[in-house]
Amino acid sequence: MSSNNLDTLYRQVIMDHYKNPRNKGVLGEDSLTINMNNPTCGDRIQLTLKLEDGIVVDAKFDGEGCSISLSSASMMTQAIKGKNIEDALKLSKIFSDIMQGKEYEDDIDLGDIEALQGVAKFPARIKCATLAWKAMEKGLKVEEQDN
C-alpha cells in the first residue's frame, strides 16, 4: 500500500474514533478516576477504570479536546480492557516509544493504535495523543503501589 493510501486510511481510523468514540462515559463509584489536562491546548480528560484482581475489566473516558486526543483515548480504552496492570503499562510504554518515533516489536498487534504513529511527525500534537495514556499510567501506578 502506498504511503499516501496508508496516511488516508490512518486519518479515517482516527476520525472514526473521534466521531464514534468507544467507551465514552463514566464508570460508577467503585472505579478509579483520573483527571488530566493539557494546558497547552486545552484538552482535558477524565479516565475511569474498573479493576478487579489486577485486571482492567472496564475503562471509560470523558472530556473535551481535539480529534487526536479523543481518538487516542477511545483507542486506549479499547486496548487495555482485559489486560493486567503490567501489560497495560507495557502497552503505554510502547505507545510512548512510537510517539518518539522509535520502532516497536512487529509481533505486537496494536490494532487501531497504529493509526496514531504519524503523530510523531508533529511534536506539538504528541501531548494530545499521550494525554489519556498518561492518565492511565498515573492511575495504574497508584493502584500498583496501593496493593
| All domains of the chain in start order, with CATH | 3-146 (3.90.1010.10)
pLDDT above 80: residue 6: no
pLDDT for 146 equals 74
Higher pLDDT, residue 79 or 146: 79
Model pLDDT, residue 108: 81
* Cell reading at 78: 479499547
pTM: 0.93
Share of the chain above pLDDT 90, in %: 80
Mean pLDDT of the 15-23 span: 97
Long-range contacts of 23-30 (CB under 8 A, 24+ apart): 23/58, 23/59, 23/60, 23/61, 23/74, 23/77, 23/78, 23/81, 24/60, 24/61, 24/62, 24/74, 25/60, 25/61, 25/62, 26/60, 26/62, 27/58, 27/59, 27/60
What are 27's three cell numbers? 464508570
Buried b (16+ CB within 10 A) or exposed e, 28-56: eeebbebebbbeebebbbbbbbbbeeebb
Per mean pLDDT, which range of 8-22, 68-82, 100-114 is the poorest? 100-114
Which CA distances in Å does 73 have to 48, 131, 143?
11, 8, 20
Query: H-type helices in 20-122, by residue range?
Result: 67-80, 85-99
